[in-house]
């Protein structure tokens, strides 16, 4: 069974490319990833390596939180929150009371005093747990949010506060691990050989996702299938490798921006997670595509004009699912005063799908190269598959550009400047 289909729409006159020209490079990268031991490649086999005991521990902790709290506060930034947020937004029902989970709120991903104050105020009549996530334990946004919520937890629960704080951090070292050991907080491990933006399929993402009522067993099952399918060295058979090569070829031909597009608003945080994954993995040494995203049809009414006729610096990657679990049909109106009866035999999903087809055709005819990624259905299995697909493709894509996919040296530059300014005794305004 094919779990993911990749297709393209290019001007054949301009894009006469032979995938087999990349066969040797892909083979070298494939074997490097399989054999390297000194880099952060633990995510490659994580879906297969996570044990039943580890999954049971997450399920048991999730059940405890759901039984004793109204809300889980997840403190983290970047890879420590985007993946869980992405899966929750994609799969948890909108506008409805959760049947199998509780509310999961995210904090520590900004420095807004207003956001923090209002979040704490919203907790006054609700019971909560705190899950702080940081590999190093020194990330500014996460650390100061944790200080506030630790203090508030003690105000609310006294000595029992420690039973409501779960620390997810590096399995071997770090400031947060030291705090957890000293205070008696329960800990979940982030494997030392997995970096933050590749950590979604570890307790980093799995605990919040489970608390939100989403089936993490199915998430992992889909990811496990992707591990198997996408370990094929043959470029003709490996869709992740083909996607990486397509991106690299377009980049080599002068395209500077990849625009990830979808027609389902619930995928907006999949876009955000994808942007961090590719942005931090590729954006080094003055190289790399700029990862951007749009949510259609909303953004057709703001950015559609630019995409259609603006500076030809971008290509689009459309993400879609064949089958969605919910839909809404248009009713027939005897008056037809809105002149929409011609659509009364259609549903919103029908119209949305046709809108996607029309947009792809218009942008293609306008000269925009198009990559299409389609999965069978929007469910936990296929989301798990998709997330692993993007991680594998990202690593290959970065290596094709001859950059390390697993470090982010540029991040330290702004962290250092912020730290220096905060440490100054006097800041002149």
Catalytic residue numbers, as ranges:
280, 415
Of residues 285, 277, 245, the one with CA closest to residue 260: 277
Cα dist from 223 to 30, 50, 219, 382, 411, whole Å: 18, 11, 6, 8, 29
Structure token digits, residue 234: 């043959």
- Whether the CA torsion 122, 124, 127, 133 is positive or negative: it is positive
| Cis preceding-peptide flag for 297 (omega within 30 of 0) | yes
**Cα–Cα dist 114/135, whole Å:** 26
Give the single-character DSSP code of 262. Answer: E
Question: How open is the CA angle 378-384-386, to the nearest 5 degrees?
Answer: 75
Cβ contacts of residue 401 below 8 Å, gap of 6+? Answer: 248, 251, 282, 287, 288
Cβ contacts of residue 239 below 8 Å, gap of 6+? Answer: 4, 5, 6, 229, 230, 389
Q: Name the burial class of residue 251, with classes exposed (0-12), middle (13-18) and buried (19+) by CB atoms within 10 angstroms of its CB.
A: buried
Of residues 105, 114, 328, 354, the one with CA closest to residue 208: 105
Q: For helices 203-211 and 52-68, what crossing angle results, to 10°? A: 40
Q: Name the burial class of residue 232, with classes exposed (0-12), middle (13-18) and buried (19+) by CB atoms within 10 angstroms of its CB.
A: middle
Structure token digits, residue 348: 């919103």
Structure token digits, residue 95: 């506008």
């Amino acid at each position: 069974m094919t779990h993911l289909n990749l297709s393209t729409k290019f001007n054949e006159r301009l894009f006469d490319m032979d995938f087999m020209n990349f066969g040797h490079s892909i083979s070298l990268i494939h074997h490097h990833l399989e054999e390297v031991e000194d880099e952060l490649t633990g995510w490659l086999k994580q879906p297969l390596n996570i044990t039943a005991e580890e999954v049971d521990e997450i399920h048991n902790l999730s059940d405890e939180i759901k039984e004793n709290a109204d809300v889980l506060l997840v403190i983290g930034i970047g890879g420590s929150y985007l993946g869980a947020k992405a899966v929750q937004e994609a799969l948890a029902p909108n506008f409805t009371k959760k049947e199998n989970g509780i509310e999961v709120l995210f904090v520590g991903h900004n420095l807004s005093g207003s956001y923090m104050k209002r979040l704490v105020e919203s907790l006054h009549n609700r019971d909560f747990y705190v899950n702080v996530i940081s590999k190093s334990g020194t990330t500014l946004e996460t650390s100061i949010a944790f200080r506030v919520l630790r203090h508030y937890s003690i105000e609310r629960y006294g000595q029992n506060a420690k039973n409501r704080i779960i620390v997810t951090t590096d399995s071997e070292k770090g400031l947060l691990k030291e705090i957890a050991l000293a205070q008696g907080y329960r800990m979940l491990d982030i494997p030392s050989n997995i970096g933050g933006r590749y950590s979604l399929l570890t307790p980093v993402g799995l605990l919040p996702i489970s608390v939100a009522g989403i089936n993490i067993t199915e998430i992992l099952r889909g990811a496990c299938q992707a591990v198997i399918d996408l370990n094929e060295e043959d470029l003709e058979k490996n869709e992740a490798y083909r996607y990486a090569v397509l991106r690299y070829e377009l980049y080599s031909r002068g395209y500077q921006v990849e625009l990830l597009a979808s027609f389902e608003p619930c995928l907006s945080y999949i876009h955000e997670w994808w942007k961090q994954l590719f942005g931090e993995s590729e954006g080094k040494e003055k190289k790399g595509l700029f990862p951007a995203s749009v949510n259609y049809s909303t953004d057709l009414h703001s950015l559609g004009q630019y995409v259609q006729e603006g500076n030809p610096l971008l290509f689009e990657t459309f993400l879609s699912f064949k089958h969605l679990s919910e839909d809404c049909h248009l009713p027939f109106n005897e008056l037809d005063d809105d002149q929409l009866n011609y659509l009364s035999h259609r549903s919103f999903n029908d119209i949305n799908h046709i809108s996607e087809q029309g947009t792809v055709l218009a942008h293609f005819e306008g000269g925009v190269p198009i990559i299409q990624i389609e999965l069978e259905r929007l469910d936990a299995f296929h989301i798990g598959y998709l997330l692993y697909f993007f991680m594998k493709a990202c690593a290959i894509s970065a290596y094709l550009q001859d950059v390390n996919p697993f470090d982010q040296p540029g991040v330290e530059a702004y962290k250092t400047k912020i730290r220096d300014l905060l440490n100054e005794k006097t800041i002149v305004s």
